[in-house]
């Protein structure tokens, strides 16, 4: 029981940055924009987060700086792809390169610097429930935020008018424009939200998971977040499933290694990727057809005045 609880706790912390970044990108893609630069925004969040936290001595300032850094990167992307209708795929990939470089410059002065991580917040009483208590009610603030985000994003997209309009922009931007909605403005806000989430995910890595700076420390998690959005068929609840599945396999294979399972570690490391593919195929088989992405995804929109 103790081991199970420990494994679940580790799975949640490992999956949280993936989940937060994926939820942000999900909203972006729902509005019809494909931003492949999640990794670049995330690493900027990580660098600016730890830099600001060390500089000011405040974790809150660090988190805020990370969110702003992610948003600034997203704004750059938005200006290019929405303001100038530039190609989204290429701009997103360029953003990833740019972010990797810029984060290295921001972080250069903080290599080897150290600060304490952000601690856990225990919910009184509830955290005493066996298994569920520690897993759900004794976590760091980011984990609570990720739980809330799943709920809020799902609610926003499905139950609010603003969410409906955002989805309309993603499905058919010409029609949304004809109905008088400011497609570009809505998309820009969605892109900013995606940047904020990616920045927050980066802050989680440099302020909570491993509180220090090291070049390229996001280690490709931005790309995995992109894959999770696709895995989720653009549904927030399923993004949580995808993130926990991926994180879960990652942790379980580490445990299997530690327990002395005689399997090549490369195969173990490949398992999260392979199992994600297999699960996706199974899901698609179960309900044939499956959900397609937003119809206008990646297509630039230029309003005729």
Partner 1 sequence: MRLVLETRSQTPPALALGAPLLAVALTLVSAVLIFAALGQDPWRALQVYFIAPVSDSWGLQEVAVKATPLVLISVGLSLCYRSNNWNIGAEGQFLVGAMAGGWLALATHGAPNGPWLMPAMLAAGAAGGALFALIPAVLRTRFGANEILTSLMLVYVAELLLDWLVRGPWRDPQGFNMPVTVSFEPEAIVPLLLEGGRLNVGTPIALLVVVLAAVLVGRTLKGVEIRLVGEAPRAARFAGFDTNRLTLTVFAISGGLAGLAGVLEAAGTVKMLQPGLSPGYGFTAIIVAFLGRLNPVGCLVAGVFLAITFIGGENAQIMLRMPLDATRVIQGLLLFYVLACDTLLLYRPRLVASTPA
Partner 2 sequence: MTLTRRLLLGSAGALAGAALPGSQADAQSRLSVGVVLIGPVGDFGWSHMHDQGRRRMAEVLGDRVAATTVESVAPPDFDRVVTQLVRTGHRLIFTTSFSYFAPTQRIAPQHPGVFFENATGPTMLPNMAIYNARFYEGRYIQGVIAARKSRTKTIGYVATFPVPEVIHAINTVMRGAWSVDPAMKVRVVWVNAWSNPAREADAARALIDQGCDVLCSHTDGPAPLQLANERGIFGFGQASDMTRFAPRAHLTSSVNNWGDYYAERAQAVIAGTWQPKDTWGGLGSGMFRMAPWTNMTPEEVSEAERIRDAIASGRLHPFEGPIVRQDGTAVIPAGQRLDDNQIRAQNYFYQGIDASIPG
Residues that bind partner 1 (CB under 8 A): 76, 80, 83-87, 89-91, 93-95, 97-105, 108, 180, 182, 215, 223, 226-227, 230-231, 264, 266-267, 269-270, 273-274, 276-277, 280-281, 284-285, 288-290, 293, 302-305
31 CB contacts (<8 Å, ≥6 apart)?
166, 167, 169, 170, 186, 187, 190, 191, 294
130 in contact with partner 2 (CB under 8 A): no
212 in contact with partner 2 (CB under 8 A): yes
Q: How far is CA 169 from CA 156, 164, 266, 286, 291, in A?
A: 15, 9, 43, 30, 17
Residue 30: name the closest of 193, 180, 174 by CA.
Answer: 193
Phi, psi of 164 (to 5 degrees): -65, -45
Please answer whether residues 68 and 101 qualify as being in contact, where contact means their C-beta atoms are separated by less than 8 angstroms.
no
Using CB under 8 A as the criterion, what x/- string covers residues 164-203 for binding partner 2? ----------------------------------------
Please identify, using beta-carbon distances, which residue of 11 and 280 lies nearer to partner 1: 280
Q: Taking the complex as a whole, how short is the minimal distance between the CB of residue 239 and partner 2, in angstroms?
A: 19
Assign residue 216 a region (left: φ > 0; alpha: ψ between -120 and 50; beta: otherwise): left
Q: Taking the complex as a whole, how short is the minimal distance between the CB of residue 68 and partner 2, in angstroms?
A: 22
Please answer whether residues 97 and 40 qualify as being in contact, where contact means their C-beta atoms are separated by less than 8 angstroms.
yes
Please identify, using beta-carbon distances, which residue of 104 and 141 lies nearer to partner 1: 104
Q: How many residues bind partner 2 (CB under 8 A)?
A: 40
Q: Taking the complex as a whole, how short is the minimal distance between the CB of residue 118 and partner 1, in angstroms?
A: 27
Q: In DSSP terms, which residues pair with 139 in a beta bridge? A: 121
Q: From the list partner 1, partner 2, none, pick the one residue 205 interacts with, judged by a Cβ distance below 5 to 8 Å according to partner type.
A: partner 2
Classified as helix, coil or strand, 37 is coil
Q: From the list partner 2, partner 1, none, pick the one residue 210 interacts with, judged by a Cβ distance below 5 to 8 Å according to partner type.
A: partner 2
Q: Taking the complex as a whole, how short is the minimal distance between the CB of residue 161 and partner 1, in angstroms?
A: 17
217 in contact with partner 2 (CB under 8 A): yes
Query: Which of 125, 159, 161, 259 is the binder for partner 2 (CB under 8 A)?
Result: 259
135 CB contacts (<8 Å, ≥6 apart)?
5, 8, 9, 12
Is beta strand 121-122 parallel, antiparallel or unpaired with respect to 138-139? antiparallel
7 in contact with partner 2 (CB under 8 A): yes
Alpha carbon of residue 228 to chain centroid: 9
207 in contact with partner 2 (CB under 8 A): no
Please answer whether residues 15 and 202 qualify as being in contact, where contact means their C-beta atoms are separated by less than 8 angstroms.
no
Residues from 55 through 94 that contact partner 2 (CB under 8 A) = none
Residues binding partner 2 (CB under 8 A): 3, 6-7, 10, 14, 17, 104, 107-108, 111-112, 114, 117, 205, 209-217, 219, 221, 250-251, 254-255, 257-260, 262-266, 268-269
């Amino acid at each position: 029981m103790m081991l199970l609880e420990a494994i679940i706790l580790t799975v949640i912390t490992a999956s949280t940055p993936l989940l937060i970044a994926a939820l942000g990108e999900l909203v972006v893609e729902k509005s019809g924009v494909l931003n492949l630069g999640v990794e670049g925004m995330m690493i900027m969040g990580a660098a600016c987060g730890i830099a600001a936290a060390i500089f000011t001595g405040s974790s809150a300032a660090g988190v805020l700086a990370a969110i702003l850094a992610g948003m600034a990167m997203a704004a750059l992307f938005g200006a290019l792809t929405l303001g100038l209708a530039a190609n989204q795929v290429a701009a997103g990939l360029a953003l990833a390169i740019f972010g990797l470089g810029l984060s290295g410059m921001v972080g250069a002065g903080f290599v080897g610097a150290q600060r304490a991580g952000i601690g856990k917040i225990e919910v009184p009483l509830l955290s005493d429930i066996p298994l569920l208590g520690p897993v759900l009610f004794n976590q760091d603030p980011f984990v609570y935020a990720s739980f809330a985000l799943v709920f809020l994003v799902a609610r926003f997209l499905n139950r609010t008018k603003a969410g409906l309009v955002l989805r309309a922009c993603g499905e058919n931007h010409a029609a949304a424009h004809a109905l008088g909605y400011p497609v570009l403005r809505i998309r820009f806000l969605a892109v900013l939200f995606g940047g904020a989430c990616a920045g927050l995910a980066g802050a989680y890595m440099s302020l909570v998971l491993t509180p220090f700076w090291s070049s390229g420390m996001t280690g490709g998690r931005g790309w995995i977040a992109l894959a999770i959005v696709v895995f989720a068929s653009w549904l927030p609840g399923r993004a949580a499933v995808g993130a926990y599945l991926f994180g879960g396999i990652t942790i379980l294979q580490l445990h299997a290694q530690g327990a002395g399972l005689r399997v090549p570690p490369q195969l173990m490391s490949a398992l999260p990727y392979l199992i994600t593919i297999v699960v996706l195929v199974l899901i698609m088989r179960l309900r044939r057809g499956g959900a397609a992405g937003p119809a206008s995804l990646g297509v630039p929109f230029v309003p005729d005045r």
